[in-house]
Structures are given as C-alpha cells and as structure tokens.
Structure 1
Amino acid sequence: MAQNTIGTAGIIRDARSRYRTAQREEGGAHGAFEGETRRSGGEPRAEVTVSRAEAPADVAELLAVEGAAVLRARRMFVGEDLVQLVNTWIPVDVAEAAGVESVDTGAGGIISRMAEAGFSQGSEAVEDVDQRPATADQAAALGVEEGELLLTVTHVGRTAEGRAVEVTRHTLGRGWTLRYAVPLD
C-alpha cells in the first residue's frame, strides 16, 4: 500500500481564493490545484484522462444531462505523493464549446476555457464536504484502508443564469486542511 509522505504542515486547500482567475492562472498554472500547490512550495503533477461517460445519478441530476457527459479523471500529486483523486463531469455541449476534451486545457484550466466560451461561472461556486468510505481502488491509490472515511469535496460551478456547467468530486487522501471563510453578519 502506498503511503502519503506529505510534510507535517499537510496540504491546505484554500477555498477563499483558489478559484480566482489570478490564482488559477498564476505563472501559467493549469488550474487551482497547480497554482495553490506551487504557491505553497510544492511540485504539482497531474495524470489526466478524458472520456465520455455516464455520470453518476446525483451528478447527472445537477448537470441536467441524460446520457454521456465529458469526464476528466485526474490523479493529483504533490511531488511523488498522490494526494487526491478528482473526477469532473461537464455537459458535452459545454465541453465541446470550451475545448476541454483535450488533456491540456492551458493556463487557468477548464474554468478559464469555459469563461472564454461564454460559460463563465457566476460569482460563487457551491462546495459540499462530506466523508465517504474509500473504495478498494481509492484505498489502493491513496494508501489508506478500504472503508476508511475520506473527505470528499463536491464542487458545483454554475453560470450567472444558474446552469451547472461543472461538477467536480475531489476525493482527498490524508493530510489535508480545508480553509473557508464565512460572513459573520
């Protein structure tokens, strides 16, 4: 079983700023994870596969799609450590218009390509954080026991008109800190 050897500080996923254009594109970063990891001194790497696949029922409902959606499946590393498994589902018409069916989506990643194609995500994204038991495949990949509860972040990006154009499910390995800010008034 692989073991996560991320330093004692762990990995900070800062939802307060990670999706801002300047943060996603900083230094030519190909998205939020790459920019955030570089800023913290880490070496990000991703293995990406792109296909058309049937979305899980909850994702298909959020995207209002029947049949296939575009699936961007990513294995995200810091150095040699696999730290998260990420599946992003995108409606086919949005993916085609934004050109995000290629592995390399350029600086800023899919959010920037969608904005250029007229599918700019509105002023906020909604993220639900829950715990899910690791499947056998997730456990083997992330170096945890099958059934161990893992943090899962489900990110839903919508246009200003309310259309969901992206559902991304992040399955996090050990060592993560999730940082959020909430209004107090």
Structure 2
Amino acid sequence: MAELPLPELDPLSDRAVFRQIADHVREAIERGALHEGDKIPSEAQLMQHYGVARMTIRNALQVLQSEGLTVAEHGRGVFVRSRPPVRRLASDRFARRHRERGKAAFIVETEEAGGKPSVDSIKVSEAAAPSDVAERLELAGGEHVIVRSRRYLINGQPVETAVSYLPSSIAQGTQIEQPDSGPGGIYARLEELGFRLDRFVEEIRSRMPFREEVRALKLAPGVPVFHLIRTAYAADGRPVEVCDTVMSSDAYVLSYELPAR
C-alpha cells in the first residue's frame, strides 16, 4: 500500500467497516491520488492493510462499483472508471448557425468539450408509427414513418442512443433515408426540403436503465440515464420529427438559458 496511502479504520465510528473502506478509496479518487484507468489495490492488499476478511473488501468494492466509480475487469482487477468528456446539453445546441456550418448538434458540443465524436449502429427503416409517436406527429392511425436509430460515442465510448421518427410523406426518397444523412444532419435536410425549423419541445426524466440500454451504453452498475423525447416543429406549426433519446447521465450536464419574460 506504499503507492497509495489509505487511512486506518476508525474503531469508534458507527459506520460499517466496509463503508469506511469505500469512503477511503472514494476520497483517493476524488482528490486525484487515483486517476481514470488506475488499478485499485488488490483484495489481498486491502485485506492486509485493514486486517479484515475478503468479503468485507468485496462489499466495499461493490459500493464503489454501484456508484459508477470503478469497473471490474475479469482476471485483471478493479479500475477507476474512465469517463468521456462531459457534453453540455445546452439550449442553443440546435441553433441554425451550426447546421449552416454543416455540423450536427452532437458534433458541435462534443468538439467544444474536447472530445472526438462518432456515430455507429445506424439503422434506417420504414414502419407504421407507434401510437405515441403518431400522436406527437399528428398522424392518422396506420401512417408510416421513417425510423433512424443510431448510437453516439465520445472518444470511442458510447454515451447516447437515439431513434428519430419522421413522417414518410416528408422523408421518403430523400437523403434522410440514407445511413449518412449528410452535413448538418437530418435537420439540415428538413430545411432544404422547405421545412424551416421554428422550435423544439423536449421532455426529460431520469430513470434507471433497461438491460438493453446497459449493454448499448456499457453502463456501470448504479448509473442512471436521462430519457429525453424531443419534437421538432416547422415554422407553420407542423411537427416534423420525434426523437427518443437515452443518455448516460454521467456524460452530460443539462445546461439551459431561459428568457425571463
């Protein structure tokens, strides 16, 4: 333990021993004594330092993993979890100036945060609109939509999945149906088609992830997600897209500037 000095246990504390140990390691991470990707002292080292049973150490490590601070790699040990640069989910991320520069919102904000953006798992299909999507898009029952699903990554680490639904009457036969929707993304294509975007309405809630979301976003135990549903409206008031997005909560800060009027 010479490489990582840790405090001794407080025998007078009413805090459980495994929680004291978790507190010590957490504090080492927070003060920078352990950095992202660093290996946590082994179970044997921690047992020797604290003079406790293996199960006590494992309980302490489980606390840290459940908080999203560490990740266990089979056969290698426990490591401080690496996190992508925080992407600020700002209120101006869909400003027209970004599209005019040929950049979609994710690219702009990730680059501003110092990260390298990428997109994978792109799938495009046509299907009958789900009932909640049809209601948001003001479509009649049975009308079809173009469905675009994809996963966003920062520095190769997945942080977000998104599924967009656009009326087939608008998007069918356009570049929106292609895996690569072109510079500025689908919002730039919509405006080229004559649907000048006027406003976006978003609903955001926090929840624990579903099993498939844990896999897709490679989430550590205990890390919740933001579930965001956005509806884009054209200048004539017509809804032209619904986007259902799930984001790893530790990769985002929600930052909004609201007018006081």
2:107 aligned residue:
34
AA at the equivalent of 2:119: A
The residue matched to 2:176 in structure 1 has which SS?
coil
AA at the equivalent of 1:13: L
Could you tell me which of 102, 116, 137 is aligned with 1:43? Answer: 116
AA at the equivalent of 1:36: E
The residue matched to 1:137 in structure 2 has which SS?
helix
Q: Following the alignment from structure 1 to structure 2, what is the Cα–Cα distance between the partners of residues 97 and 158?
A: 21
Q: Following the alignment from structure 1 to structure 2, what is the Cα–Cα distance between the partners of residues 146 and 58?
A: 30
2:15 aligned residue:
none
The residue matched to 1:138 in structure 2 has which SS?
helix
Could you tell me which of 187, 200, 213 is aligned with 1:111? Answer: 187
Which of 1 and 2 has greater Rg?
2
* Structure 1 residue 135, shift from structure 2 partner: 1.7
1:93 aligned residue:
169
Could you say which structure has the higher strand fraction?
Answer: 1
Q: Does the 8 Å CA contact 2:111/2:117 hold for their aligned counterparts? A: yes
The 1:64/1:145 distance shift into structure 2, 3 A limit, reads: farther
Q: Does the 8 Å CA contact 1:134/1:146 hold for their aligned counterparts? A: no
* Structure 1 residue 97, shift from structure 2 partner: 6.2
Could you tell me which of 130, 139, 142 is aligned with 2:214? Answer: 139
The residue matched to 1:94 in structure 2 has which SS?
helix
The 1:88/1:134 distance shift into structure 2, 3 A limit, reads: same
Q: Does the 8 Å CA contact 1:46/1:76 hold for their aligned counterparts? A: yes
Q: Following the alignment from structure 1 to structure 2, what is the Cα–Cα distance between the partners of residues 182 and 37?
A: 22
Could you tell me which of 134, 159, 165 is aligned with 2:234? Answer: 159
1:130 aligned residue:
205
- TM-score normalised per structure 1: 0.86
Q: What is the alpha-carbon root mean square deviation over aligned residues?
A: 2.2
Question: Unpaired segments of 5 or more residues in structure 2?
Answer: 1-70, 72-80
AA at the equivalent of 2:214: A
Tell whether 2:244 aligns with 1:169: yes
Summarize deviations over 1:126-169 as a string: whole Å, max 9, x none: 11111244221111112337896421111110112211100011
- TM-score normalised per structure 2: 0.62
Q: Following the alignment from structure 2 to structure 1, what is the Cα–Cα distance between the partners of residues 222 and 145?
A: 28
Percent identity over paired residues: 30
Could you say which structure has the higher helix fraction?
Answer: 2
AA at the equivalent of 1:88: S
* Structure 1 residue 25, shift from structure 2 partner: 4.6
Higher relative contact order (CA 8 A, sep 6+): 1
Q: Does the 8 Å CA contact 2:224/2:249 hold for their aligned counterparts? A: no
Tell whether 2:152 aligns with 1:76: yes
Q: Following the alignment from structure 1 to structure 2, what is the Cα–Cα distance between the partners of residues 125 and 51?
A: 24
**Paired residues, number:** 178
The 1:42/1:148 distance shift into structure 2, 3 A limit, reads: closer
Question: Unpaired segments of 5 or more residues in structure 1?
Answer: none
